[in-house]
Structure 1
Amino acid sequence: MRVRKVQEKRSWAIAVAVAIIKPTLLLLTKQKWVGGEQNFPADEGCVVVVNHLSHVDPLTTALLSYDHGRIPRFLIKSGLFKNKALGFFLKQAGQIPVYRESAGAAGAYDAAVAAVRHGQAVLIYPEATITRDPDLWPMRGKSGAARIALETGCPVVPVGQWGAQAILPPYTKRPFLFPRKTIVARIGAPVDLSDLAAKQPRTAEVVNEATDRIMAAITHQVELIREEHAPKERYDMRVQGDRFKDRKKAS
């Protein structure tokens, strides 16, 4: 694809991050972005939803967004903001802290809605954690992305990505940097939630249907990359447990 020029004003933190992350990823990886010229909004507020494979994902997904002319705003676990220096940097870069299961949890939702309404691109991993599916297919999603999209009426852009797990497999610490890995991302057409956005009141059933559509769209893009069919039933940690945690306990 032809790389788009970023039109938004960059903070000093974004400029520093780009100067470090982009050349590093260009050195260590090859990128194949598909469908972005047609489907990645050039300037309007949007929610970009991506499957989660590795702790490397935020770096590769940030490059994907930046190559399409958009400064990425992630929803990031609040723990990373506890370090004063890192927290200050992340805030200056416009990232959004998520305080799970606390009185501040609603703040992330409000901040994400505000960012979208200000024309920004908010990137979300709807699974909320690295997939536990044994074959790394997308899991059952959480409702945050759907609720933001239903509230704002913004485009929801599904992205399926594959390759980051070859650099750093899930929940491991040793990276495999060479030979260079290829990161493939397919950007699909925005998920149609217009019928659901029009429904009032916004019940749990409506939000769940929107979430299912989002995860189906992401999964379809992953299927196209892998040229395989995903399982009919998505992995659900609430039912099937956390296999990484169980493996750690067993060891």
Structure 2
Amino acid sequence: MVVRRMQEKRNWAWRFAEPIVRGALFATTTHEWVGGENIPASGGCIIVLNHVSHVDPLLAAHLVYDHGRLPHYLAKSGLFKNKGLAYFLTAAGQIPVERLSRNAAGAFDAAVAAVREGKCVVVYPEGTITRDPGGWPMTGKSGAARIALETGCPVIPVGQWGAQQLLAPYAKRPDFFPRKKVTMLVGEPIDLADLAAEPRSMPVIQRATDRIMAAVTALVEEVRGEQAPAERFDMRKAGVRETGNPNKPEHQTPREEPS
């Protein structure tokens, strides 16, 4: 495992959080980082990962931090409703996102600005914890692709597995013991150069999104030693709402009837 010394300037928020988060993760998990040298040592970039647990952001932050970068997340706006937490998250450079809202455009602009400032932005392109019954990556949202096409920055895919054993999707209590092994496999940058040269049409953005999800899925297959379903899970087709706990009845929507 390649570990780089932190080059970026850390403010009080990072100095406060880093030992707490690192200590908690070392107490509850073991980890294996593979391919971390693919994370750029400097300059704006996007890290894209599959999403299997609410603890994913902490583990991804551990990965990125171990390779000398400070992670900047597109975090759901609800986390910013608490004034104290909002103060901390803002100080740490996190970006609020109002999902399924027109205001999400502001998050896109902020993410683009962060990348252009040379920051490392972490994106979960599925937009939420996977609803796939086998835990595989779902169809992706367009945010990561749009940021990448707008900035031309490197897009680094990561396939990860194991966090769901520490905290299962939408579980209220974590399972601390025994310590859970988390593996993160970092792939080479995704080549989007041919698409960046084309107009920003929806078909082009969709092709970039599909390419991103294919790269992430291939890494998850390698980590798990299994083959993903031929067709990625689509929440809309399955009649599952895109926010909230899908296991609760109020979060089910009628399936689309064939026309």
User: TM-score range, shorter-chain basis?
Assistant: over 0.9
Tell me the residue number matched to 2:4: 4
**Within 5 A, what are the aligned runs for 1:71-220?**
71-200=70-199, 202-220=200-218
Distance in 2 (alpha carbons) for counterparts of 1:103 and 1:52: 23
Distance in 2 (alpha carbons) for counterparts of 1:233 and 1:193: 22
3-state SS of the aligned residue for 1:129?
coil
Distance in 2 (alpha carbons) for counterparts of 1:205 and 1:29: 41
Distance in 1 (alpha carbons) for counterparts of 2:88 and 2:7: 21
Q: Which amino acid letter does the alignment assign opposite residue 214 of structure 1? A: I
Tell me the residue number matched to 2:254: none
Q: CA deviation at 1:103?
A: 4.5
Distance in 1 (alpha carbons) for counterparts of 2:104 and 2:222: 35
3-state SS of the aligned residue for 1:233?
coil
3-state SS of the aligned residue for 2:72?
strand
**Structure 1 unaligned runs (5+)?**
none
Tell me the residue number matched to 1:27: 27
Alpha carbons of structure 1 residues 98 and 246: separation in structure 2 relative to 1, 3 Å: closer
For 1:89-112, what per-residue CA distance to the aligned partner results, in whole angstroms no more than 9, with x for missing partners? 000000000023444321110110
For 1:202-232, what per-residue CA distance to the aligned partner results, in whole angstroms no more than 9, with x for missing partners? 1000000000000000000000001111001
For 1:107-140, what per-residue CA distance to the aligned partner results, in whole angstroms no more than 9, with x for missing partners? 1101100110111100000001000000000000
On the 8 A contact 2:125/2:144 being kept in 1, the answer is yes
Tell me the residue number matched to 1:240: 238
Q: CA deviation at 1:19?
A: 1.7
Distance in 1 (alpha carbons) for counterparts of 2:221 and 2:8: 33
Q: Which amino acid letter does the alignment assign opposite residue 235 of structure 2? A: M
Distance in 2 (alpha carbons) for counterparts of 1:236 and 1:102: 20
Distance in 2 (alpha carbons) for counterparts of 1:246 and 1:128: 14
Distance in 1 (alpha carbons) for counterparts of 2:35 and 2:104: 33
* In the alignment, structure 1 residue 62 sits paired with structure 2 residue 61: yes
**Structure 2 unaligned runs (5+)?**
252-259
3-state SS of the aligned residue for 2:185?
strand
* In the alignment, structure 1 residue 225 sits paired with structure 2 residue 223: yes
